[in-house]
Structure 1
Amino acid sequence: MITRSSLKHLRIPFSIFLLPVFLFALAFTANFDEIRILLVFIILHLFLYPSSNGYNSYFDKDEKSIGGIKNPPKVTPDLYWLSLVFFAISLGMALKISLEFSTMILVYGLVSMAYSHPKIRLKKYPWLSWIVAGLFQGYFTFAMAYAGLSDFGWEVFFKAHVLIPGMLTSLMLWANYPLTQVYQHEEDAKRNDLTLSRKLGIQGTFAFSAFFFLLTAAGFAWFFLSRDQEYILWVYLAAMLPIVLYFMIWFYFVRKNPEKYANYSWTMGMNTISALLLNGFFIYYFLENTQIMQAIGVN
């Protein structure tokens, strides 16, 4: 029997926070196919990511707020099997695209399982977990989505036109990743998980993320300018401005009272505003970069 608790722990709406990576990959799609786009979207956001969320929730057994759930219900045994069923569905659906795409889904899923599984538990290694999470949720997912959308294989992972934008998405995630851990120090300490945020401290986490946000902005600026897309750069900076302002205000309050303001609500506020603006920007970039608007006669 599937419990409501398990369905909630899949955190399907939380997938919106990883949608910018898919949209960015979509902007470079070589073979535009509406059915393939829908299929890849469903595989990633409705099955693969929720499978990962549920699997990690099962082993973490958090009692306090987690990403997307302020008051998580108690984990039940069916969550483990439900997460594996979702993973199996994602693998099966991926086979409709290609065997290679399905193996990419398999690799992503296994790495995400290693994040919280007690025998490996990457989560307890601060730098390794930071590198792996950013690399796989960013570059690997970008290349995987691009391969699925364009009907290519593993060779795309080593192509410059995939590697460069893919690594930019990893920079975005490396900047934001420690911030998602600032309110979980107590829970992580109970399990002896030395996350990067615990290692850096709350204020150190904000300083670290600020540096990587700057690095990310510089990387995207170089990328758009190198493609003679100066007008895109200005749109990107406009989208980033509210995110930066929110971050600065949040950091100001955290410096005043870390225990009060390094909390779930502020973190989810940061995630939400970032997701909305970045999703909006990458939809715009997809329309511009693929020249769809020009093709259908919209000026």
Structure 2
Amino acid sequence: MQPSNQTTTRTAAPTVTSSGYKNALTLMRIPFSVYLMPIFWFALSTVTGYELVMAVAVFLILHVLVYPASNGYNSYCDRDEGSIGGVERPPKVTRELLHLVILFDVLAAGSAFWLSPLFGFIVVLYLLVSKAYSNETTRLKKYPLLSTAVVTVFQGAFTYVMVQVGLGFELAEVLQTPNSWYAVVSTLFLCGSYPLTQIYQHEEDARRGDKTLSLLLGIKGTFAFAAVSLLVGTSLLLWLYLAADQLEHIFIFLLCTGPIVYFFSTWVLRAYKDLGQANFKNTMHMNKVSSVCISLAFIFIIIVRNFF
């Protein structure tokens, strides 16, 4: 036989690079986890008798491993080209991102099970649900009401319970009143903040076919929904403090959250005149203000409960 003159062209497999992992780490958005801190501090502020080392361990597992793993997987599935939470110009998604997501998942689950089997199970459940939110097959974010219910419950009440279980409290104890009502407050706060994180992404979400709650409500409707949810959540929280004769907690919360009310009100007024104000920059500023102020409120309440 005569040798063939044809040559076979092979496509080189994509190489794994340090720059790829650097970009992947950016998409894990670890600093963005700061915006989810208020639920952690809230869960600590309503209980006493836990060990500081356990609180630190739970904080690190959630904010350094669990939340970044969820953020990274969301970025891997969405492959956003526009701004995303915490990253104005996201780098290109590569397979290194999936490597980091798997690593963080394993570390989060392993660390959680090391603290307690129940805490480990709850963390794994959270990770699975967060994957279902973005996964191509399940893609919960295509359904505005279902995705909102899942996110607000799991990042709100479920996380509140998860933190206290991680601290070593029994599940039956955590679910008793009024503690269970505090968990409801967590979800109401998330109902107010979650749609605001979608308000600048309408065009990209519509292009992907993701019918988010904010897209369904529109910009003005999103602001109205957020205001009502936050008002109801705050009213319930203040009523719970009043019923427990914790007047100092009411004062601390109202004092610390005053800047949130001011910024949100002025932002809404600007956006009603110019819808372009519902942009990435203002959304991230709102997230920073609300996260820092609410976290400070609960940190001060923790100090008052434990030292005064």
TM-score above 0.5: yes
Deviating above 4 A after TM superposition, structure 1's stretches of 4 or more consecutive aligned residues are none
Q: 2: distance between equivalents of 1:206 and 1:98? A: 40
Q: In terms of mean alpha carbon deviation, does 157-166 or 53-62 score higher?
A: 157-166
Q: Cα distance 1:235–1:157, how it changes in 2: closer, same or farther (>3 A)?
A: closer
Q: Which residue of 2 aligns with 1:214?
A: 231
1:168-225 superposed Cα distances (whole Å, 9 cap, x missing partner): 1111110111111010001101110000000001111111111112111211110110
Residue 93 in structure 1 maps to residue 114 in structure 2 = no
What residue in structure 1 maps to residue 283 of structure 2?
267
The aligned residue for residue 297 of structure 2 is 281
Q: May I ask how many residue pairs the two structures share in their alignment? A: 290
Secondary structure, counterpart of 1:201 in structure 2:
helix
Task: Choose from 116, 120, 125 the match for 1:102.
Answer: 120
Match for 1:284: what amino acid? F
Amino acid at match of 2:23: S
The 3-state SS of whatever aligns with 1:96 is helix
Conserved? CA contact 2:185–2:234, under 8 Å: no
Q: CA deviation at 1:153?
A: 4.5
State the partner residue of 2:31: 13
Change (3 A) 1:249 1:137: same
Secondary structure at the counterpart of residue 89 of structure 2: coil
Q: Residue type of the partner of 2:118? A: E
CA distance in 2, matches of 1:194, 1:257: 23
1:52-110 deviations in Å (ceiling 9; x for gaps): 00011100111001100011111111211211210110110012211111000011111
Determine the C-alpha separation between the residues in 2 that align with 1:59 and 1:250. 31
- Tell me how far 1:157 sits from its aligned partner: 5.3
Q: Which deviates more from structure 2 when the two are superposed, residues 236-245 or residues 171-180?
A: 236-245
CA distance in 2, matches of 1:235, 1:38: 24
Aligned to 1:297: none
Q: Distance in 2 between matches of 1:18 and 1:164?
A: 19
**Aligned residue in 1 for 2:3:** none
Letter in 2 for 1:81: H
For the Cα contact (< 8 Å) 1:147–1:156, is it kept in 2?
A: no
Give the TM-score taking structure 2 as reference length.
0.91
Q: What code does the residue aligned with 1:218 have?
A: S
* Aligned partners of 1:143 and 1:156 also within 8 Å: no
RMSD: 1.3
Matched residues in 1 for 2:251 and 2:49: separation? 28
Change (3 A) 1:70 1:232: same
CA–CA distance in structure 2, aligned partners of residues 213 and 26 of structure 1: 20
Asked if structure 2 preserves the Cα contact closer than 8 Å seen for 1:134 and 1:174, the reply is: yes
1:248 is aligned to 265
Are 2:76 and 1:58 equivalent residues in the alignment?
yes
Identity %: 41
**Aligned residue in 1 for 2:241:** 224
> TM-score, length-normalised on structure 1?
0.94
In the alignment, structure 1 segments of 5+ residues that lack a partner are 295-299
Q: 2:173, 2:191 → 1: CA distance?
A: 22
Give, in whole Å, the separation in 2 of the partners of 1:88 and 1:282.
Answer: 31
Counting only pairs closer than 5 Å after superposition, residues 125-140 of structure 1 correspond to structure 2 as 125-140=143-158
